[in-house]
A = this chain, B = another copy of it.
Amino acid sequence: MPPNTSSPPTRRFRLKIAYDGTAYAGWQVQPDHLTIQEMLESRMEAVVGHPCKVHGSGRTDQGVHAMGQVAHVDIGTRITPRSLRLALNARLPGDIRIVGARVVNAQFHARRSAVAKEYRYFVWNDDLMPPHKRLYALHVRRPLDMDALQEAAAHFVGEHDFVAFMANPQRAVESTVRTIMECEFRRHGKRVEFRVKGSGFLYRQVRSMVGLLMRIGQGAEPPGAVAQLLAEKAPRTARVPTAPPQGLFLWQVWY
């Protein structure tokens, strides 16, 4: 019998990835800027021995973090999911971690197979921002009205046209209608946490939602402004600022 010199079949791996976005120009590969996708692809190539394209569930902007980004990658060499995870974590810097890896079937697609995504946005609501929180939360000094925030957040739940909550789109979108399944605030002392789960999100939609919500929480707009803007379906105005990136975490992707 001749020795087995054939290449192993290509298998698709699903990765769960956590990262601190502070040092990166976002997820997506771009010239002259260090990105998370680029870091993953270069370390992946070093581990498996061939070039790899890492497909994420979606982009995250510069300074945005992730606890549960999901990506898929096709690998043509023999390696177990556990070895892949350990080898990647040994080579990646501490601000990018592979949380999990497993083999999936070839139909799985990190972006197209996703049925829902959850983001969380953290706010530190106090006169002083502790130094070690500054890269992971928005600082809001004025006490936030939690009742107004909860009432406003509830207006987002359901299927709506989110055109008023989309920033300068980088590409044309077929539809600006999206479905929000969960949208709520929680307070733990000075830490205010916004959770939103939806079928999908437009460009900078979560940061736009938080931008308006922070104005509502500080009394600059009534909670009903959310329902009004969703009903008007007019392009975004100065009433809806983009909240800064450092408070935002891509928390989980559902398939």
Cβ 8 A contact of A97, one of B95, B97, B129: B129
Number of copies: 2
**Distance in Å: Cβ of A29 to nearest Cβ of chain B:** 19
Which residue of B has the minimal Cβ distance to A95? Answer: B131
A163 interfacial by beta-carbon distance below 8 Å: no
Cβ 8 A contact of A131, one of B94, B130, B132, B134: B94
Query: How far does the alpha carbon of A199 sit from the alpha carbon of B73 in the complex, in Å?
Result: 56
Cβ 8 A contact of A95, one of B19, B95, B134: B134
Query: How far does the alpha carbon of A132 sit from the alpha carbon of B246 in the complex, in Å?
Result: 11
- Which residue, A94, A96, A132, has most C-beta atoms of chain B within 10 A? A132
CB-CB < 8 A to A131: which residues of B? Answer: 18-20, 65, 94-97
A135 interfacial by beta-carbon distance below 8 Å: yes
CB-CB < 8 A to A135: which residues of B? Answer: 132
A15 interfacial by beta-carbon distance below 8 Å: no
Query: How far does the alpha carbon of A18 sit from the alpha carbon of B18 in the complex, in Å?
Result: 28
- Which residue, A19, A65, A131, has most C-beta atoms of chain B within 10 A? A131
CB-CB < 8 A to A96: which residues of B? Answer: 131
A128 interfacial by beta-carbon distance below 8 Å: yes
Cβ 8 A contact of A132, one of B99, B130, B136: B136
**Can you list 15 A-B contacts with CB-CB less than 8 angstroms, sorted by A residue number?**
A18-B130, A18-B131, A19-B131, A20-B134, A65-B131, A65-B132, A67-B130, A94-B129, A94-B131, A95-B131, A95-B134, A97-B128, A97-B131, A99-B128, A132-B135
The 8 A-B residue pairs with the shortest CB-CB distance in the complex, in nearest-first order: A20-B131, A94-B134, A95-B131, A20-B132, A132-B136, A19-B131, A18-B131, A97-B131
